[in-house]
C-alpha cells in the first residue's frame, strides 16, 4: 500500500474524462461534512471535477457551474452543495449569503474559486488546485489537506488516489 508522507498529492490529467473520473472517486469516498475547495483559472476544470464528484455521489442530472446563482444543491447518496465564489468581492459577502449553512450543515460542500474567501473555511478541508498544462487538454491537479495528512479526514482518500491515479483514464 502506498503511504503518503506529505499533505499534498499531484496528479496529471490529460483529458476532461480523466478529471471527471478523478472527481467520481472523490464523490464515491465522500463522507458527511466534507468540504472540498477548488482553485484554478477560468476553464481549468473546477466544474468538470465537480461533475465527477456528483456522479460519484449518485446525483442524477447535469451539474452546471452555479456562477450566476452562487450555490446549488443536488441530492445523491449525500446532499451536494455546489458553490461558486467567482463573483464574490469578499469573504464577508459570501458569509452574508448564508455560506455557513452549507459549510456546517449536512452533506458535502464543493466550492469553486475558494481562494476568494479562504479565511472562512474549516481547517480540515481538501484543497484542489487545477493548473493548465503544456497542451490544451493537460492539467496538473494538486490535492492538499488543510491540516497535516495524519490528522486529516482526507488521509484515506489521498492514500487511495495515490494508489489509483495510475489506473484512472
Ligand atoms: N484535463 C482536463 N480536465 C478538465 N477539463 C478539461 C481538460 N482538458 C480540457 N478540458 C476542458 O476545459 C474546460 C473546463 O471547464 P470548466 O467549466 O470545468 O472550468 P472551470 O474551472 O469550472 O471554469 P470557471 O472558472 O469558468 O468556472 C471544459 O471545456 C473541458 O472540456
Ligand atoms: Mg466552473
Closest protein CA for atom 25 of ligand 1? 42
DSSP H stretches of helix in the chain:
16-29, 46-56, 91-96, 99-104, 155-164
- Residue 3 included in any domain: no
Distances (CA, A) of 128 to 75, 96, 97, 101, 162: 23, 25, 23, 22, 14
- Residue 1 included in any domain: no
Residue that wins the pLDDT comparison between 26 and 103 = 26
Categorize the per-residue pLDDT at 57 as very low, low, confident or very high, splitting at 50, 70 and 90. Answer: very high
- 3 pLDDT above the threshold of 70: no
pLDDT over 90, % of the chain: 67
In this prediction, residues 136-163 reach a mean pLDDT of 96
Q: Provide the pLDDT for residue 1.
A: 43
CATH of residue 130's domain is 3.40.50.300
The alpha carbons of the chain give a radius of gyration, in whole angstroms, of 15
- Residue 2 included in any domain: no
- 2 pLDDT above the threshold of 70: no
The answer to whether the beta carbons of residues 25 and 154 sit under 8 Å apart is no
Nearest partner of 54 among 136, 110, 115, judged by Cα: 110
Closest protein CA for atom 7 of ligand 1? 16
Rounded to whole angstroms, the Cα distance separating 118 from 106 reads 21
Summary mean pLDDT of the chain: 91
Give all strands of the β-sheet with 79-84 in edge-to-edge order: 8-13, 139-145, 126-132, 35-39, 108-112, 79-84, 71-75
Distances (CA, A) of 168 to 4, 19, 23, 47, 125: 19, 9, 11, 18, 23
- Residue 127 included in any domain: yes
Of 37, 44, 69, 140, best ligand 1 pocket probe by most atoms within 8 Å of the beta carbon: 44
Residue 41 Cα to ligand 1 middle (Å): 9
Query: Which residues form the domain of 40?
Result: 8-167
- Residue 56 included in any domain: yes
Residue 1 Cα to ligand 1 middle (Å): 32
For 167, counting Cβ atoms within 10 Å of its Cβ (0-12 exposed, 13-18 middle, 19+ buried), the class is exposed
Residue 3 Cα to ligand 2 middle (Å): 32
- 61 pLDDT above the threshold of 60: yes
- 124 pLDDT above the threshold of 90: yes
**Ion ligand 2: residues, CB < 5 A:** 46-47, 65, 112
The answer to whether the beta carbons of residues 76 and 82 sit under 8 Å apart is no
Instruction: Please count the structural domains in the chain.
Output: 1
- Residue 30 included in any domain: yes
Amino acid at each position: 500500500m502506498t503511504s503518503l508522507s506529505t499533505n499534498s498529492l499531484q496528479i496529471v490529467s490529460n483529458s476532461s474524462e480523466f478529471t471527471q473520473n478523478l472527481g467520481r472517486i472523490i464523490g464515491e469516498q465522500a463522507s458527511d461534512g466534507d468540504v472540498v475547495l477548488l482553485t484554478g483559472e477560468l476553464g481549468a476544470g473546477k466544474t468538470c471535477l465537480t461533475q465527477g464528484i456528483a456522479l460519484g455521489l449518485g446525483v442524477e442530472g447535469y451539474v452546471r457551474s452555479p456562477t450566476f446563482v452562487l450555490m446549488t444543491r443536488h441530492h445523491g447518496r449525500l446532499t451536494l452543495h455546489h458553490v461558486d465564489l467567482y463573483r464574490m468581492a469578499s469573504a464577508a459577502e459570501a458569509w452574508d449569503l448564508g455560506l455557513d449553512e452549507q459549510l456546517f450543515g449536512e452533506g458535502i460542500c464543493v466550492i469553486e474559486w475558494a481562494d476568494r474567501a479562504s479565511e472562512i473555511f474549516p481547517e480540515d478541508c481538501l484543497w484542489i488546485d487545477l493548473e493548465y498544462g503544456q497542451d490544451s487538454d493537460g492539467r496538473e491537479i494538486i490535492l492538499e489537506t488543510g491540516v497535516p495528512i495524519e490528522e486529516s479526514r482526507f488521509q484515506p482518500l489521498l492514500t487511495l488516489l495515490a494508489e489509483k491515479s495510475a489506473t484512472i483514464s
